Amino acid sequence: MTETSVSHTGQCLCGDVNYRAAGAMTDVLHCHCENCRRITGNFVAAVRTPTAELVVDDPEAQFRWIDLGFAAYGFCQACGSTLFFRATDRPDLTSVMIGTLDDASHTQLHSVWFAGDVQPHNMLNDTVSHFAGNDPG
């Protein structure tokens, strides 16, 4: 478990939605469920933080929640970035998508959810080519 008292900031791709999380960030998770896969295009990598200590700055009113019943996902409707998800039965915790943090150097994987649904292409494999950028072809 990773825990820190440092305040964390982040934003969506276009920058219309910014946030600050003053609470500790714990329980870094990967979720491979079908909902997370489809809404992100692959899988969710997120870190939980207390909802009460998460402040969303949305001056352009672009932030929306989409409620799927078991959980809600928060996103920027201007650029499409998914920023958060929140389980319906744990409204006190918000999971922040790690890729939207300004600095994710403190994050460490704690758990994998829906591990049985991990797709083959997500398995780390040292026998394949690794590129610093994109595949130069």
Rounded Cα distance between 10 and 94, Å, is 14
Q: Give the contact letters, 73-92, x = binds to Zn ion (CB under 5 A), - = no.
A: ---x-xx-------------
Tell which one of 8, 16, 18, 95 touches Zn ion (CB under 5 A): 16
Note whether 45 binds Zn ion by CB under 5 A.
Answer: no
Rg over alpha carbons for the chain, rounded to the nearest Å, is 15
Note whether 22 binds Zn ion by CB under 5 A.
Answer: no
Across the beta sheet with 93-97, the strand order is: 63-67, 71-76, 82-87, 93-97, 44-50, 26-31, 111-113
Closest CB 135 distance from Zn ion, rounded Å? 28
Closest CB 32 distance from Zn ion, rounded Å? 7
Closest CB 79 distance from Zn ion, rounded Å? 3
